[in-house]
């Protein structure tokens, strides 16, 4: 018999294989994803979700916790692996929870039943192979949660893979984590538009090795068109670290030709299209802060909420100072100076040395000197 170990999280205890791996058909449990599960459960409670699908449930940690922590909720837990299903069923029994288990391919299940209030998809790698069926079948106002762990592709380190998988022109930047999250949301927006569906972003963030995006389905042409207005290309200079969004309508026009070079005279790279709007709703951040308990989760929420005032990607201060041969100042000092000069500035959850700043690279340079 396969050796097992027991893991506790919250009020539940689940069994997993002792020799678990993060690949293959052996079920796994990743303790780092606790924040992912915490936020998902909090979203479900805030929006009073009644019918929930844990699309790729593995050993069932999210499903079992949700059933125990939320009231009046019908939880569906799906897993395709026959080996994993054994652990899922055992964990259901051991924790005495009434969850409905499916042993199906998620795409087939979504085609047969899209009648959920909340569908969460947490794959190993990219979620793209499930998005079309989610967007096609989920009903109006359904909440969707998607996780992506293919950061190398999304953040621009593997340009060819980024074009293949997400249809985005990418490059290494000084704000790679934010580019990755905006890249993911932009892909969702474009996929949704194919089905005349818009999306309402509720909350999204980056943590350690993954991106998480929660959004709500809006089934109307008007909402689809409004969603697409948040898609733009990004002009980026890797010499001066200048960056700015440019609308689709300006590509190829005289206005675009005039903007092709940064303050240093170097030609911009054209990246995208990516999401240029808010990546979280401030009201949802406030509601989440009443539900989650960990200090790190509270810190993420505080920073994400503050970031929504400044939509241009953050500056990595260490890289910026190194390129310009400047002595590094404290982030709080820089924020104070920026605000004294009438500019918006705040920290970012993407990077401990990152600074959100609504001025251009030349203005940041003046503040740092």
pLDDT in tens, the chain (369 residues): 567 888 899 899 998 887 655 445 556 788 889 999 999 999 999 999 999 999 999 999 999 999 999 989 999 999 998 888 999 999 999 999 999 999 999 999 999 998 999 999 999 899 999 999 999 999 999 999 999 999 999 999 999 999 999 999 999 999 999 999 999 999 999 999 999 999 999 999 999 999 999 999 999 999 999 999 999 999 999 888 999 998 877 766 656 555 665 556 678 899 999 999 999 999 999 999 999 999 999 999 999 999 999 999 999 999 999 888 888 888 888 999 888 888 899 999 999 999 999 988 889 988 888
- Domain end point (choices 307, 323, 356): 307
CATH number for the domain spanning 161: value is: 3.40.50.150
Whether residues 116 and 229 share a domain: the answer is: yes
**Are both 335 and 300 inside the same structural domain?**
no
Q: Which of 282, 307, 332 is the last residue of a domain?
A: 307
Between CA 98 and CA 67 the distance in angstroms is: 8
88 with 115, same domain? yes
| Phi and psi angles of residue 125, each rounded to the nearest 5 degrees, phi first | 110, -135
Q: For residue 183, which of 198, 199, 163, 197 has the smallest C-alpha distance? A: 163
237 and 114 together in one domain: yes
Q: What does the pLDDT read at residue 157?
A: 92
The token pair that represents 112 in the structure block: 């047969």
d(CA 117, CA 217): 10
Residues 321 and 201 in one domain: no
Distance (Å, rounded) from C-alpha 331 to C-alpha 354?
8
pLDDT number for residue 21: 54
Q: Please indicate, yes or no, whether residues 149 and 213 belong to a single structural domain of this protein.
A: yes
Question: In terms of domains, do 303 and 357 share one?
Answer: no
What is residue 106's predicted lDDT score, i.e. its pLDDT?
97
Distance CA 194, CA 180 (A): 22
Quote the pLDDT of residue 27: 60
pLDDT score recorded for residue 261: 57
Domain endpoint, select from 259, 280, 307: 307
CA terminus-to-terminus distance, the chain: 66
Same domain, 233 and 137: yes
How many structural domains comprise the chain? 2
Residues 264 and 293 in one domain: yes
Quickly tell me which residue has 């709500």 as its tokens.
Answer: 216
How far, in Å, CA of 238 to CA of 91, rounded? 51
- Whether the upstream peptide bond of residue 367 has omega within 30° of 0, thus cis, is no
CB-CB contact of 292 with 34 (8 Å): no
Cα–Cα nearest to 348, from 322, 292, 310, 318: 310
Query: Cα(345)–Cα(248) distance, rounded to whole angstroms?
Result: 27
Tell whether 358 and 285 lie within a shared domain.
Answer: no
Measure the CA–CA gap between 302 and 313, rounded to whole angstroms. Answer: 18
What pLDDT score does 259 carry?
60
d(CA 298, CA 255): 43
What is the rounded distance in angstroms from the CA atom of residue 295 to the CA atom of residue 301?
Answer: 10
Neighbouring-strand partners of residue 312: none
- 331 and 301 both lie in a single domain: no
Q: By three-state DSSP, how is residue 55 classified? A: coil
For residues 90 and 271, give the distance between their C-alpha atoms in angstroms, rounded to a whole number.
48
What pLDDT, on a 0 to 100 scale, did the predictor assign at position 22?
47
**Cβ proximity of 20 and 27 under 8 Å:** yes
| Cα 182 to Cα 114: distance, rounded to the nearest angstrom | 26
Q: Are strands 74-78 and 4-9 parallel, antiparallel or unpaired?
A: unpaired
User: pTM (2 decimals)?
Assistant: 0.94
Question: Which ranges constitute the DSSP H helices of 195-280?
Answer: 221-228, 254-258
**Residue 349 sits in which domain range?**
315-368
Residues 184 and 321 in one domain: no
Q: What local confidence, expressed as pLDDT, does residue 23 receive?
A: 47
CATH of the domain at 321: 3.30.56.70
């Amino acid at each position: 018999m396969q050796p097992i170990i027991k893991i506790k999280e919250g009020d539940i205890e689940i069994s997993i294989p002792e020799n678990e791996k993060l690949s293959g058909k052996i079920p796994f449990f990743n303790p780092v994803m606790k924040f992912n599960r915490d936020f998902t459960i909090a979203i479900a409670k805030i929006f009073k979700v009644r019918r929930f699908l844990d699309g790729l449930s593995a050993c069932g940690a999210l499903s079992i916790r949700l059933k125990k922590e939320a009231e009046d909720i019908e939880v569906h837990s799906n897993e395709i692996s026959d080996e994993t299903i054994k652990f899922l069923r055992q964990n259901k029994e051991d924790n005495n929870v009434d969850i409905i288990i499916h042993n199906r391919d998620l795409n087939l299940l979504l085609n047969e039943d899209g009648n959920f209030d909340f569908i969460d998809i947490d794959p190993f790698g990219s979620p793209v192979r499930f998005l079309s069926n989610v967007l096609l079948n989920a009903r109006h106002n359904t909440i969707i949660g998607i996780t992506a762990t293919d950061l190398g592709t999304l953040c621009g380190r593997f340009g060819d893979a980024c074009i293949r998988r997400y249809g985005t022109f990418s490059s290494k930047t000084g704000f790679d984590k934010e580019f990755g999250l905006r890249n993911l949301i932009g892909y969702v927006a474009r996929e949704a538009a194919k089905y005349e569906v818009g999306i309402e972003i509720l909350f999204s963030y980056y943590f350690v090795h993954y991106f998480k995006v929660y959004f709500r389905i809006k089934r109307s042409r008007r909402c689809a068109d409004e969603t697409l207005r948040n898609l733009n290309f990004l002009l980026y200079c890797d010499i001066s670290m200048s960056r700015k969004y440019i609308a689709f309508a300006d590509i190829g026009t005289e206005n675009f030709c005039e903007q092709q070079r940064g303050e240093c005279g170097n030609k911009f790279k054209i990246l995208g299209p990516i999401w240029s709007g808010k990546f979280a709703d401030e009201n949802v951040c406030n509601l989440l802060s009443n539900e989650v308990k960990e200090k790190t989760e509270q810190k993420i929420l505080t920073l994400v909420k503050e970031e929504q005032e400044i939509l241009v990607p953050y500056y990595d201060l260490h890289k910026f100072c190194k390129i310009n041969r400047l002595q590094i100042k404290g982030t709080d000092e820089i924020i104070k100076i920026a605000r004294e000069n009438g500019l918006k500035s705040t920290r970012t959850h993407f990077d401990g040395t990152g600074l959100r700043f609504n001025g251009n690279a030349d203005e940041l340079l003046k503040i740092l000197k």
